[in-house]
Structure 1
Amino acid sequence: MIIAATDRTRAPYACHPSQSRGRRYPQPDSAMRNAFQRDRDRIIHSAAFRRLKEKTQVFVAHEGDQYRTRLTHSLEVSQIARTLARALHGDEDLAEALALAHDLGHPPFGHEGERVLAQKMKDFGGFDHNAQTLRVITKLEVRYPEFDGLNLTWETLEGVVKHNGPLLTAGQGEAELPWAFTDYDGWRELEFATHAGLEAQIAALADDIAYNNHDIDDGLRSGLLEMDPLLDLPLVGEIFARVRTRWPDKPQAIIVHEAVRELIGVMVEDVLTETRRRLDLAKPDDAQALRELDHPVVAFSEPMLMHLAALRRHLFAHMYKHYKVNRMMSQARRVTSDLFDLYLGDPGVLPSDVQAGMTGAGTAQTARGVCDYIAGMTDRFAVEEHRRLFTVQGYF
């Protein structure tokens, strides 16, 4: 029997839109979309989501239009998350919303940009891209007349901040939380000491599946990786060898696509098998019982974790630390650092609307405004801004 989209079967431990804990600013229900569908749509229509199209995944966005950016990565994560949520009888719309939102707080130039901002902000509350995502969706997106932010449901906010698991573990206090989390008025309501719901855990594993596989694809496409050394890796090598044997006359691009496609399928099946095993053991009665378990339920098996560790070691050695990537990242660090120092020391060079609320050069409030401004930039805008501000002939 075909089940209509409005009649999806959700497990008792899934999040149900009709049982959502609601929004910080109450709004009437929509006649056409449930609460999680509205969250997804607000994320898609946000300026921060559009800017992901020119933010680095591994390669600086303008290096080539064939490589993944944060936007295309987020779309791939959402596709995998929906597949997992459907198979596990979770809420597909919430899983998709969380997948689409998970990188909204990333600054330009990927993790290199984040490292620079974290260092620059160490005396002003720090910087963390997950915390910045919460800041984006609760404060920095100014689109609605009644409130700042996107006014998303509690479940979506919780899933965003716990993308990497609980934020407080035994023995940790609130002072150890990133500043941007505690700056949110309702932060205690997000229950930082518990795991996230099923759909957020799904989005986190979908993220791992997506980036591990598309980094192989982009690495081979760029020439930073070679196929033959991949054949020595467990699982990855087996699948690439099998595909090459099956299609010996096909060009490498097709071999790579087919092998990556199979790898994604194997990883998805592994997550489903391991997650079902954990659910059968834990038997959570509802979504809150699942959150309060002392371990995540959505997970890779131990053998798959070993395969992924071997793959990550290979990618770090041969791709992420490749001298060509290092050169790009060196430039990215310089651009980010130069812009921050200039803006903090001379905020008068910032656009008037960005200056609003700043309290003078070198202050914590100005530093946070500068950090927000830089974190919202695309790679291309940051490079062009650096050229405008540090190349004299641009104005003379």
Structure 2
Amino acid sequence: MPAGNNAEFHARRRFGQPLDSDPRSPFERDRDRILYSSSFRRLAGITQVAAVREHHLLHNRLTHSLKVAQVGRRMAQRLCKDYPDFANDVPGGPDGFPDIVESAGLAHDIGHPPFGHTAETVLHKKMSLHEGFEGNAQTFRALTKLAVHAHVDHGLNLTRATLDAVLKYPRYEGEEVSESADRTWPFRERGSKWGVYRSEEQDFNFAREGEVCPGERSLAAFLMDWADDVSYVTHDLYDYFRGGLMPLHALHSECSDEFMGFARARRKGAGYKDFEEDMFKEQYRDLKRLMPDRGWRDTREDRKILDKFQHELLTLFFNAVTVVDHHGRWQIRIDKIAEYQVEVIKELTFFYVIRRPGLAMVQRGQKKIIETLFDDLMEMFARHRKGAKDPDHPVPMLLDDIYDGMVRHEKVSGFNRPHEERRARAVCDYICALTEDQAINLCERLSGNSVSQGSIFGTWF
């Protein structure tokens, strides 16, 4: 049978345990530390797909994360109830494992910059000489270095189990992903990206201690990743239909040849392995039968119909999760049909929403904002430091503080990077601490586009 759970090992924190008599479990504390952090609250100002200023009531990164956490927790609770042997072996046991998965769901997007994946692309290019940029790696960095807790100087000082659960892609940039059988689509065991910077190597080693398969997600991270996908394809689909972006009611009758060709081309570009095209088509046909049969008019009946559709999807994906004892190790399995249904909805989202010219134009402007911020802050910070923090060359106070904190942490850890790289990483960290409104406001101030509305009371920067 799989190795037993060592409660003390998984509940350990890298920088010591609290000494007070708080009745909460270590994993309940993790959840509360994340929930009450300013890094988490900031997600209310970060886009999911459309801009957070849209007039329609759309999910942002905060509401998305809350639902990922809720879906993940309920799945973990069901698995612990249905599989008692599994529940007794997983980190935290039947009481703590749901807390761990929920915490990972709350935290999984904390590192995302303003404008989401659009900004990720820009920052990765800007950081190409300095290990690059990756939103999941930035999340791990935020939790272990940048987020603030009253009693530690190293992020939130979360337990080993929670840190491991956040690692959706537990490897560094450039590390090869195994080409063994478990790397065939849909990549659930490992994923296809990377998710940690070298500067967090000691934190990464602490989180991954005891994991027997390098590069493979922990059970909690696996479940959080599925909950992330489920939330994305159900709750965001709800938004797109209500906003008139995705004509779910028209899928019953409209020709699907164009969509099928689009989806097939995207998979070819992504290099999917062992993907079954016939299964994809079959699940597209089955999902169409569940779709609302009329367009959105914002009536109570419309909301009931859409809620029923969303409930049916959530039930399908919720019940698709099982566990097995595979050669002495527990593995979580997702039903094949559910995987293809999720893929269909992802492709529908790209087809109807993400490739829209209107969104592309908005993203073009967002890229320019991030490019301008990065370049201007790099230049300002260089002058600021050369002038020994001369008041004639000011920078945002938080940027200065992030840089000084980086120097302190590197002295302790022994990780010593060149000044230019440290400066660039500090600028990235600062940009990833902003909401989208703050990024726009700061860009306008630096460019002079809103100088007539400038104010000395801009204390947030």
Q: Which has the higher contact order (CA 8 A, sep 6+)?
A: 1
- 1:303 equivalent in alignment to 2:337: yes
Which segment is superposed worse, 315-324 or 346-355?
A: 346-355
For 1:179 and 1:350, locate their aligned partners in 2 and report how far apart those are by CA, in whole Å: 28
C-alpha distance 393-333 of structure 1, shift in aligned 2 (>3 A): closer
Could you tell me which of 224, 249, 254 is aligned with 1:203? 224
What is the TM-score with the length of structure 2 in the denominator? 0.71
Tell me, yes or no, if the aligned pair for 2:43 and 2:60 is still in contact at 8 Å: yes
Q: Any idea what SS the aligned residue of 2:430 has?
A: helix
- 1:115 equivalent in alignment to 2:121: yes
**Pairwise CA distance, 1:165:** 6.0
Amino acid at match of 2:234: N
Tell me, yes or no, if the aligned pair for 1:61 and 1:69 is still in contact at 8 Å: yes
Q: Any idea what SS the aligned residue of 1:298 has?
A: strand
C-alpha distance 93-110 of structure 1, shift in aligned 2 (>3 A): same
Q: Which residue of structure 1 lines up, in the alignment, with residue 366 of structure 2?
A: 332
Tell me, yes or no, if the aligned pair for 1:205 and 1:298 is still in contact at 8 Å: no
For 2:8 and 2:251, locate their aligned partners in 1 and report how far apart those are by CA, in whole Å: 47
Q: Which residue of structure 2 lines up, in the alignment, with residue 136 of structure 1?
A: 142
C-alpha distance 170-12 of structure 1, shift in aligned 2 (>3 A): closer
**Pairwise CA distance, 1:20:** 1.9
**Pairwise CA distance, 1:179:** 6.3
Could you tell me which of 160, 164, 179 is aligned with 2:166? 160
For 1:140-172, what per-residue CA distance to the aligned partner results, in whole angstroms no more than 9, with x for missing partners?
Answer: 1233344321110111111112x146665449x
**Pairwise CA distance, 1:283:** 6.3
CA RMSD of aligned residues (A): 3.0
Tell me, yes or no, if the aligned pair for 2:136 and 2:195 is still in contact at 8 Å: no
For 1:62-96, what per-residue CA distance to the aligned partner results, in whole angstroms no more than 9, with x for missing partners?
Answer: 22361001000011111111110011115111111
For 1:229 and 1:165, locate their aligned partners in 2 and report how far apart those are by CA, in whole Å: 41
Could you tell me which of 318, 321, 337 is aligned with 2:352? 318
For 2:450 and 2:23, locate their aligned partners in 1 and report how far apart those are by CA, in whole Å: 55
For 1:102 and 1:14, locate their aligned partners in 2 and report how far apart those are by CA, in whole Å: 27
Which segment is superposed worse, 215-224 or 195-204?
A: 195-204
Could you tell me which of 276, 298, 311 is aligned with 1:261? 311
Q: Which residue of structure 2 lines up, in the alignment, with residue 228 of structure 1?
A: 249
For 1:214-259, what per-residue CA distance to the aligned partner results, in whole angstroms no more than 9, with x for missing partners?
Answer: 2211111221111234437333312125x77xxxx96433322221
Q: Which runs of 5+ in 1 are unaligned?
A: 1-10, 291-296
Alignment of 1:8-19 (within 5 A): 17-19=7-9
Amino acid at match of 2:216: H
For 2:131 and 2:169, locate their aligned partners in 1 and report how far apart those are by CA, in whole Å: 20
Tell me, yes or no, if the aligned pair for 2:160 and 2:207 is still in contact at 8 Å: yes
Q: Which residue of structure 1 lines up, in the alignment, with residue 40 of structure 2?
A: 49
Q: Which residue of structure 1 lines up, in the alignment, with residue 400 of structure 2?
A: 355
Alignment of 1:53-92 (within 5 A): 53-64=44-55, 66-89=57-80, 90=87, 91-92=97-98
C-alpha distance 73-228 of structure 1, shift in aligned 2 (>3 A): same
- 1:282 equivalent in alignment to 2:282: no
Q: Which residue of structure 1 lines up, in the alignment, with residue 377 of structure 2?
A: 343
**Pairwise CA distance, 1:18:** 4.7
Identity %: 30
Q: Any idea what SS the aligned residue of 1:346 has?
A: helix
Q: Which runs of 5+ in 2 are unaligned?
A: 81-86, 88-96, 180-192, 254-283, 385-393, 408-418, 455-461
Q: Any idea what SS the aligned residue of 2:429 has?
A: helix
For 2:242 and 2:202, locate their aligned partners in 1 and report how far apart those are by CA, in whole Å: 45
C-alpha distance 224-121 of structure 1, shift in aligned 2 (>3 A): same
Q: Which residue of structure 1 lines up, in the alignment, with residue 259 of structure 2?
A: none
Q: Which residue of structure 2 lines up, in the alignment, with residue 8 of structure 1?
A: none
For 1:62 and 1:17, locate their aligned partners in 2 and report how far apart those are by CA, in whole Å: 44
For 1:298 and 1:177, locate their aligned partners in 2 and report how far apart those are by CA, in whole Å: 21
C-alpha distance 337-108 of structure 1, shift in aligned 2 (>3 A): same
What is the TM-score with the length of structure 1 in the denominator? 0.82
For 1:170 and 1:214, locate their aligned partners in 2 and report how far apart those are by CA, in whole Å: 33
**Pairwise CA distance, 1:128:** 0.8
Tell me, yes or no, if the aligned pair for 1:134 and 1:181 is still in contact at 8 Å: no
For 2:142 and 2:357, locate their aligned partners in 1 and report how far apart those are by CA, in whole Å: 33
Could you tell me which of 439, 447, 459 is aligned with 1:382? 439
Amino acid at match of 1:371: C
Amino acid at match of 1:37: E
